[in-house]
Every structure is written in C-alpha cells, then in structure tokens.
Amino acid sequence: MRVTRIADARPYHAPGHSGMVGLRLQGKEASDTGAFWVGLSHFLPGGGAESGASDIEKVYVALSGQLTVMTDDGETVLGPLDSCRLAPGERREIVNRTSLPASMLVIIPND
C-alpha cells in the first residue's frame, strides 16, 4: 500500500491553468500506479483551465464548490460529488464562476 498524506502531497504545474493549485495524490512522482494518476485541483474564484483537448480520457470529480465545465456540446456545472468523463480528443474549458474556492479530483491515464 502506498499512502499519500495530504500534508505531504506535492504541487504540480498544469499547463494552461490559472488561479489553480494542483496536488499530486497518486501516480507520476507520488507513487507507482500502473494505469493512471490522481490529482487534487484547488480553483480560486475566477480560476480555471483554458480551452484545450488531449488524446487521453479524463475523469473529474467535484469535491467542493462549483465548477463550470464547457465542451463543444455545451456546458454544465459540477457541484460536490458530481463527476464527468471527457473522451479522448474532447475539447474542454473549466472555470470557477463563483466567489468561493472549488476543489476537484482529477483522474487521468498514464501516458
């Protein structure tokens, strides 16, 4: 078992994000996961991720606050414990349109 205590989670840089701090919980440099990595993203009011797509699928799970996720098909607001899956190649943008911080669990396959 590999435990990562939140106090020991290391920040990581997420290109194209602003007003956000990401912490690596599992995978990459945090542990030896084989198939995926898990991050915790904290978005300040007005923070987000610019529009972009990648060739791998992603799962987002809102933990607190509200985050608006926009795709070419429209937009939706994720609240606590709501989740979404983004398909490979699906363009998305994320923004915290509220006046409170929001947190999201990010699960992404290893590349």
What would the CATH number be for the domain defined by 6-109? 2.60.120.10
pTM comes to: 0.94
Structural domain boundaries in the chain: 6-109
pLDDT along the chain (111 residues), means of 10: 95 96 94 94 98 96 98 97 98 98 97 76
Note the pLDDT of residue 111: 76
- Kindly write down the DSSP assignment for every residue of 25-62, as one continuous string: EESTTS---SSEEEEEEEEEEEEEEEEE--SS-EEEEE
Q: How many CB atoms lie within 10 A of CB 67?
A: 27
